[in-house]
Amino acid sequence: MGGTFNSALSARRLARRFHSGASELVIFEDLSLEVARGELVAIVGESGSGKSSLLHLLSGLDRPTAGDVYFEVDGDENEPTASPSRSLASLGEEELARFRNREIGFVWQQHYLLPEFTAMENVMMPLLIAATPRAEARRRAQVWLDKVGLGARLDHRSGELSGGEQQRVALARALVTEPHFLMADEPTGNLDERTGVAVFDLLARLHQQHSLTSIIVTHNHQHAARCDRRLCLHQGRLQEESLHV
Ligand SMILES: Nc1ncnc2c1ncn2[C@@H]1O[C@H](COP(=O)(O)OP(=O)(O)O)[C@@H](O)[C@H]1O
Ligand SMILES: [Mg+2]
């Protein structure tokens, strides 16, 4: 069972249908996807094609109607016999939440920071939730705020930061727990072009430096072109897009 060797993530035959009254909305019927370790993959497609729905399934925020998502994760040193492959369907809600917190950093189009809290407090939050001692959480949040170029803005309330700065804080918050996967849903969608490029540059640099496996939903074809692979979602199917069409 599990993904093919060298695949960090595989989605197998995903279906997602929504019921509303007597009618049924089919987002995908049979969608499969393999992402290699260390890949930076872009997902593009029209509004309403199901990109966010797909990302929610891949990250375990939503459960598919059929099919499953497998993650290859490094074996637990304390449990050498444990299978390194995780099927999301096999995890209960609590295990799934723990897996997500440990393995997946998420960035949304909206930053969802707590506006009354400082940049530092926002970035410390996932560590405090994981019961990291406060001094340690502060030290690690400082390191990540430096990495995203906000080392001098630690004590600013996030509501007082610019849109680009808020997305930098959101990236630091997503990665402060050192997950192996980064998933982002239109992370530059609310930013002007120049700020969007800077935030995408940062994301691509962190992807590289931390050997992440990343899936980025984007409307921006320039950003997509900088990814290792571009997949276009259209009528429930993913198609590889070449750069030279
Ligand atoms: N929870 C839900 N219940 C019913 N329909 C939904 C739900 N989530 C998404 N949809 C529908 O699924 C389709 C795809 O939505 P979405 O994944 O948000 O597309 P995209 O991110 O590509 O714009 C849309 O028609 C949307 O209305
Ligand atoms: Mg969307």
Residues 84-109 have a mean pLDDT of 92
Confidence of residue 1 (pLDDT cuts 50, 70, 90): very low
Rounded to 5 degrees, φ, ψ at 17 are -125, 145
pLDDT at residue 3, as a whole number: 42
Quick one: which ligand is closest to 48's CA? Answer: 1
Which structure tokens are listed for 10?
């595989």
Residues 10-35 have a mean pLDDT of 94
> Which residues lie closer than 8 Å to 142 by C-beta, 6 or more apart?
120, 151, 154
Please tell me which residue, 223 or 83, carries the higher pLDDT value: 223
- Mean residue pLDDT across the chain: 92
Domain membership flag for residue 30: yes
Is it the case that residue 212 has pLDDT exceeding 90? yes
Angle at 213 between CA 209 and CA 219, to 5 degrees: 100
pLDDT at residue 73, as a whole number: 78
At 144-162, the pLDDT tens digits run 999 999 999 999 999 999 9
Residues 85-109 have a mean pLDDT of 93
> Ligand 1: which of 16, 23, 26, 27 to mutate, most ligand atoms within 8 Å of CB?
27
The count of domains in the chain is 1
Domain membership flag for residue 1: no
pLDDT at residue 244, as a whole number: 62
Question: CA-to-CA distance for 114 and 179, rounded, in angstroms?
Answer: 21
pLDDT at residue 85, as a whole number: 80
Question: CA-to-CA distance for 72 and 98, rounded, in angstroms?
Answer: 16
Residues 60 and 71 sit within 8 Å (Cβ to Cβ) = no
Minimal-distance CA residue to ligand 1 atom 2: 18
Quick one: which ligand is closest to 186's CA? Answer: 2
From ligand 1's centre to the CA of 198, what distance in Å?
29
Minimal-distance CA residue to ligand 1 atom 18: 52
Question: CA-to-CA distance for 191 and 187, rounded, in angstroms?
Answer: 9
* Closest atom of ligand 1 relative to the 62 alpha carbon: 1
Give Cα 159 to chain centroid, integer Å.
Answer: 23
* Closest atom of ligand 1 relative to the 217 alpha carbon: 21
Domain membership flag for residue 207: yes
At 34-87, the pLDDT tens digits run 999 999 999 999 999 999 999 999 999 999 999 999 998 765 555 544 456 889
From ligand 2's centre to the CA of 46, what distance in Å?
9
Domain membership flag for residue 59: yes
Domain membership flag for residue 39: yes
Domain membership flag for residue 33: yes
Minimal-distance CA residue to ligand 1 atom 17: 50
Domain membership flag for residue 2: no
Domain range for 48: 7-241
Pocket of ligand 1 (CB under 6 A): 18, 25, 27, 45, 47-53
Residues 110-118 have a mean pLDDT of 92
Confidence of residue 230 (pLDDT cuts 50, 70, 90): very high
Selection from 196, 218, 242 nearest residue 55 by Cα: 218
Residue 68 belongs to domain with CATH number: 3.40.50.300
Is it the case that residue 245 has pLDDT exceeding 80? no
pLDDT at residue 75, as a whole number: 54
Please tell me which residue, 76 or 133, carries the higher pLDDT value: 133
